[in-house]
Each structure stands twice: as structure tokens, then as C-alpha cells.
Amino acid sequence: MPILANICHFIWKKLKSSKVSNILRIFFGLSFVLYIILIMSAPTTPEAAKSACIFCNIANKLTDTEILFEDEEVCVFRDIKPASKYHVLVIPKRHIEDAKALVPADKELVERMLSVAKELLAKNNYSEDTARLGFHWPPFRSVHHLHLHVIAPEADLGYIARLVFMKNSYWFVSPEYVISKL
């Protein structure tokens, strides 16, 4: 919890020092509280998590979500709340809780996820230099299934999205950072 308190303090200082309206501060505060409630209400056992996991259902084609790409290990689909013109998620087909649950044997999987992300950016005429790729670091994730955000162009990110997907923050880390931890 000390990390969570530090993050809250950091964000509050940024909001307090900037020219942000009180309405936006209230909105951010309430959003953050709701986000924490979602995290606390997640399934507690691996079996319950997998059966309730929307991303497992998407990977297993139990929903009508359009799959943009898939192979034996990963699948890609659009984010339901896009932060920019191009916002997709690359997920492993195997249920992995989050980036902290990865083990050294998963290094190739994360490298594959990154490779697929870069291929899709190129295919859709976006440069890696103008894109933002990353994982939300626990406990700051809304879905308990590992997913790589691929967002382009990053210049189109709104104010809140810039906070949510802030590069190299406590809550949003690069694929390279995750790979270095394996």
C-alpha cells in the first residue's frame, strides 16, 4: 500500500500544481476510487479468474469480438475504450494474471507480443516512434489477464489518457522493462 499512497500523492501534486479545474480533479479522484474497487473485487482463485476472464473468452472465440490477428500464442483485438485512433491489445491465449505473474520461461512470449505489436503498427502505417506500447503494472490494471497496449499516435492522447498511459510510471511500463525483469 505505500506504493499506492506514493502514486496517489504524486498524481495529486501534478493535478494540484497544474491549471486543472476542480471538476477534473473530482472526476479523476472518483475514477481512481472506482478503479481500486474494481481491483479489490476481482476473483481470488486462478480457476475463478480464468472462467470469469473476458480476455480468455475473447481468445477462445466465445464472444463476437473481432480478432485482428492471431497465432498459436497470441491474439489481437481493439480496445473497447480507445485512447487514440489506433488502440489494440495483444494478449497471450494462455491465461496469465499480469506482468508480475510472468516467469523467466515467459520471456519469449512477451518478446512475441512485442514483435506482433510492432508488425501491426507497421501494417497500419504507424511508426514505433510515435506509438506508446506498455503494460499496466499491478495493481493498476482493470482486466486480470496480461495485455500489451499498442496506442498510436501518442500525440492524440487526451489529458486523462496521458496519465493512464504515462511512460515509465509506477503503473504503466514498457515491454522492454518487463522483458528485463524476466
Query: What is the reported pLDDT for 67?
Result: 97
* Domain at 176, CATH number: 3.30.428.10
Give the pLDDT band (50/70/90) at residue 25. Answer: low
DSSP of the chain: -HHHHHHHHHHHHHHHHTT--HHHHHHHHHHHHHHHHHHHTS-SSHHHHHHH-HHHHHHTT-S-PPEEEE-SSEEEEE-SS-SSSEEEEEEESS----GGG--GGGHHHHHHHHHHHHHHHHHTT--GGG-EEEEEPTTS-SSSS--EEEEE-GGG--HHHHHHT-TTSSSEE-HHHHHHT-
Q: Are residues 15 and 64 in the same domain?
A: no
Q: Which of these is catalytic: 87, 136, 144, 147? A: 147
Q: Are residues 84 and 36 in the same domain?
A: no
Query: What is the reported pLDDT for 104?
Result: 97
Q: Are residues 29 and 112 in the same domain?
A: no
Total number of domains in the chain: 2
pLDDT digits (tens, 9 = 90+) for 155-181: 999 999 999 999 989 999 999 999 999
87 noted as active-site residue? no
> 129 or 168, which is more confident?
129
Q: Are residues 62 and 24 in the same domain?
A: no
Q: Are residues 57 and 14 in the same domain?
A: no
Give the pLDDT band (50/70/90) at residue 1. Answer: very low
Provide the domain limits for residue 22: 1-41
Q: Are residues 25 and 68 in the same domain?
A: no
Whole-angstrom distance, CA of residue 14 vs CA of residue 68: 37
Q: Are residues 172 and 90 in the same domain?
A: yes
Give the pLDDT band (50/70/90) at residue 142. Answer: confident
